[in-house]
């Protein structure tokens, strides 16, 4: 099929490359010339494992190209809208200006029988509004909502082998003509047995908001348990292992630590609360305010614990933060707990050095006042305390004996609970985890 993908960020660039991998002819369109220039040379504008290789592979087949010109969408059968929906400045709601701009620039290029498929995470009701708009311009065009569940760091495999496909169509019927077209787009994963659910537009939009809210709630639940463990001397990692063995609960997303960040979970739960408020259903989601509050409290707690670890004062203390990205295998620093903690420590008088294998350029763009060092050995030199805040494998593998020779004072705060506490203590370190004795 001929496919256009509008918006080439984390979602769109991966989607475009994966659709070409599935055998379709794809054009990726974005207003950002730098992004398009990089992608045209098979270089991902952000770090995503496997994406550069995939871009090179599919571009060599001639089935994928990138442009800033929306006219390239003309002649495509299916148009995916993959632009961002960030949090509005100073408000909780989602900023839909990119979705609206992408749709309005696409409208003149639509042809009868085309399908417009929204993938961006949007407040419930957006798809119906856009469907009406599209219909007024080209009555024979169908609008669908097909939410994306990919995780950064696993985006390629999550797109090629999703755990489910959700198609939102007007009326919610399997017989909707757009269902057959989208089945042809996803023929490969469907043949491989991927479950596919057809819903109405509102349900499809809500599936995404609900999934992210559930994940955020799971993380904040275990972080709330970490607070109680800290108060009572219990160990939250053992607690998570034990409750996780109940398969109604499950162990995934029960890792206590500095909490969730990134470009999705924090802004999605806030936009969901804002939308529920507009719909008069705000009471239903007041618990998400608590989920958000527990999450933000982790960051303050780490600052307090660092102060305790540094004999009661941060003034002039050399602190090295291991990790800047919001999670490993990503260079994304949007709402990163690690960077937010680093900035708070600096404000309270510490001398902070941040290291990360991939995210330093993005981090320096957001927090230019912090000091950055790529080389781990150099970054930890003479440090009064280390804070492991993003669990990159190379930090999990750090050798406590060798590292003790480089730092000023062997003290470490394990913000992700991934180190072997006994091993580090045996090597002479003062070790603190979160929610662990
Ligand atoms: C998330 C959803 O997982 C994905 O389905 C959706 O499409 C987009 O949002 P992503 O933002 O890539 O994906 O990150 P995810 O892997 O979900 O992690 C989110 C945050 O939670 C990270 O900061 C991570 O470190 C944190 N986390 C995750 C925990 O603190 N504890 C856990 O147990 C799991």
pLDDT given at position 256: 98
Last residue of a domain, one of 198, 222, 239: 198
Tell me how many domains the chain contains: 2
Final residue in a domain of this structure, among 198, 216, 244: 198
What's residue 338's pLDDT?
98
CA dihedral 179, 183, 184, 186 (to 10 degrees): 140
Q: What are phi and psi of 36, to 5 degrees?
A: -65, -40
Same domain, 178 and 204: no
User: In the prediction, which pLDDT does 67 show?
Assistant: 98
Residue of the CA atom closest to atom 17 of ligand 1: 151
Query: Catalytic site residue 264?
Result: yes
285 and 396 share one domain: yes
Q: Which of 87, 265, 298, 388 to mutate to test the pocket of ligand 1 (most atoms within 8 A of CB)?
A: 265
DSSP state of 151: P
| Nearest CA among 437, 436, 422 for reference residue 222 | 436
One-character DSSP codes across 66-96: EES-GGGGTT-SEEEE----PBPTTSSSB--
Which residue out of 9, 260, 331, 415 has the highest number of ligand 1 atoms within 8 Å of its CB and is therefore the one to mutate? 260
Atom 7 in ligand 1: residue holding the nearest Cα: 149
CB 288 within 8 Å of CB 92: no
Return the percentage of the chain with pLDDT > 70, whole number: 100
State whether 234 and 298 are in the same domain. Answer: yes
Residue 150 Cβ contacting ligand 1 at under 6 Å: yes
The tens digit of pLDDT for each residue in 386-409 reads 999 999 999 999 999 999 999 999
- For the chain, the helix, strand and coil percentages under 3-state DSSP, each to the nearest 5: 45, 15, 40
User: Do both 234 and 351 map to the same domain?
Assistant: yes
Give the three-class secondary structure for 289. Answer: helix
CA-nearest residue for atom 22, ligand 1, is: 260
- In a structure prediction context, what are the per-residue pLDDT tens digits for the chain, which is 437 residues long? 999 999 999 999 999 999 999 999 999 999 999 999 999 999 999 999 999 999 999 999 999 999 999 999 999 999 999 999 999 999 999 999 999 999 999 999 999 999 999 999 999 999 999 999 999 999 999 999 999 999 999 999 999 999 999 999 999 999 999 999 999 999 999 999 999 999 999 999 999 999 999 999 999 999 999 999 999 999 999 999 999 999 999 999 999 999 999 999 999 999 999 999 999 999 999 999 999 999 999 999 999 999 999 999 999 999 999 999 999 999 999 999 999 999 999 999 999 999 999 999 999 999 999 999 999 999 999 999 999 999 999 999 999 999 999 999 999 999 999 999 999 999 999 999 999 99
Q: How many Å apart are CA 259 and CA 168, to the nearest integer?
A: 31
What is the atom index within ligand 1 of the atom nearest the CA of 151? Answer: 12
Residue nearest to atom 3 of ligand 1 (CA): 151
Q: In whole angstroms, how far apart are CA 273 and each of 39, 83, 94, 149, 206? A: 35, 21, 10, 20, 12
89 and 164: one domain? Answer: yes
Closest residue by CA, ligand 1 atom 5: 149
Distance from the CA of 259 to the center of ligand 1, in angstroms? Answer: 9
Q: What CATH number has the domain bearing residue 92?
A: 3.40.50.720
pTM attached to this predicted model: 0.97
Distance between CA atoms of residues 96 and 129, nearest Å: 12
Residue 9: the pLDDT is 95
From the alpha carbon of 262, which atom of ligand 1 is closest?
A: 11
Ligand 1: distance of its center to the CA of 136 in Å? 38
Q: Residue 396 CB: number of other CB atoms within 10 A?
A: 15
* 355 & 247 share domain: yes
Q: Whose CA is nearest to atom 31 of ligand 1?
A: 255
Q: Which of 21, 39, 43, 42 is nearest to 29 (CA)?
A: 39
CA distance 93 to 49: 31
Whether residues 90 and 148 fall in one domain: yes
Q: How far is the C-alpha of 82 from the C-alpha of 374, rounded, in Å?
A: 32
For the chain, counts of helices (H) and of strands (E): 18, 14
Q: What is the pLDDT at residue 263?
A: 94
Nearest-CA neighbor of 41 among 71, 65, 74? 65
**Active-site residue (options: 8, 76, 82, 264):** 264
Question: Which secondary structure element, helix H or strand E, spans residue 387, and what is its range?
Answer: strand 385-388
Average pLDDT of every residue of the chain: 97
At 407 the pLDDT is 98
Give residue-wise pLDDT tens across range 195-231. Answer: 999 999 999 999 999 999 999 999 999 999 999 999 9
The residue whose CB lies within 8 Å of the most ligand 1 atoms, and thus the one to mutate among 327, 337, 389, 415, is 327
Tell me: do 225 and 332 sit in the same domain: yes
Any ligand 1 atom below 6 A from CB of 412 = no
Look up the domain containing 160 and give its range: 2-198
Query: Does residue 123's CB lie within 6 angstroms of at least one atom of ligand 1?
Result: no
Distance CA 186, CA 19 (A): 8
- Predicted confidence at residue 238, as pLDDT, reads 98
**Count of beta carbons in the 10 Å neighbourhood of residue 373:** 16
Residue 255, pLDDT score: 98
Phi, psi of 223 (to 5 degrees): -70, -30
Same domain, 180 and 261: no
Out of 167, 198, 229, pick the residue that ends a domain.
198
CA 115 to ligand 1 center in whole angstroms: 31
Shared-domain flag, residues 181 and 292:
no
Question: Is the domain of 86 the same as that of 227?
Answer: no
Tell me, yes or no, whether 150 and 181 share the same domain: yes
């Amino acid at each position: 099929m001929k496919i256009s993908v509008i918006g080439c960020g984390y979602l769109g660039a991966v989607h475009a490359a994966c659709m070409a991998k599935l055998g379709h002819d794809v054009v990726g369109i974005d207003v950002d010339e730098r992004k398009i220039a990089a992608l045209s040379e098979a270089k991902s504008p952000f770090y995503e494992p496997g994406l550069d290789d995939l871009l090179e592979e599919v571009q060599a087949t001639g089935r994928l190209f990138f442009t800033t010109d929306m006219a390239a969408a003309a002649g495509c059968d299916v148009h995916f809208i993959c632009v961002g929906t960030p949090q509005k400045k100073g408000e909780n709601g989602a900023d839909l200006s990119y979705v609206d701009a992408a749709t309005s620039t696409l409208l003149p290029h639509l042809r009868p029988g085309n399908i417009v498929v929204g993938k961006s995470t949007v407040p419930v009701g957006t798809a119906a509004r856009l469907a009406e708009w599209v219909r007024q311009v080209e009555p024979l065009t169908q609008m669908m909502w097909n939410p994306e569940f990919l995780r950064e760091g696993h985006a390629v495999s999550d797109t090629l082998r999703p755990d489910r496909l959700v198609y939102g169509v007007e009326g919610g019927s399997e017989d909707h003509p757009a269902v057959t077209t989208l089945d042809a787009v996803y023929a490969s994963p469907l043949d491989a047995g991927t479950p596919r659910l057809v819903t109405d537009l509102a349900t499809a939009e809500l599936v995404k908001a609900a999934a992210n809210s559930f994940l955020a709630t799971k993380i904040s639940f275990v972080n709330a348990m970490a607070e109680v463990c800290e108060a009572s001397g219990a160990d939250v990692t053992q607690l998570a292992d034990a409750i996780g063995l109940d398969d109604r609960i499950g162990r995934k997303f029960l890792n206590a630590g500095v909490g969730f960040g990134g470009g999705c979970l924090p802004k999605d739960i806030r936009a969901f609360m804002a939308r529920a408020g507009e719909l008069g259903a705000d009471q239903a989601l007041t618990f998400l305010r608590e989920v958000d509050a527990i999450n933000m409290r982790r960051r303050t707690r780490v600052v307090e614990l660092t102060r305790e670890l540094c004999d009661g004062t941060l003034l002039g203390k050399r602190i090295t933060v291991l990790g800047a990205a919001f999670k490993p295998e990503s260079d994304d620093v949007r709402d990163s707990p690690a960077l937010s903690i680093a900035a708070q420590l600096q404000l309270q008088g510490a001398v902070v050095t941040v290291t990360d294998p991939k995210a330093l350029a993005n981090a320096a763009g957001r927090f230019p006042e912090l000091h950055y060092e790529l080389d781990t050995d150099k970054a930890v030199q003479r440090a009064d305390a280390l804070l492991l805040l993003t669990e990159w494998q190379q930090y999990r593998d750090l050798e406590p004996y060798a590292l003790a020779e480089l730092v000023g004072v062997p003290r470490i705060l394990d913000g992700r609970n991934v180190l072997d506490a006994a091993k580090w203590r045996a090597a002479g370190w003062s070790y603190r985890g979160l929610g662990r004795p």
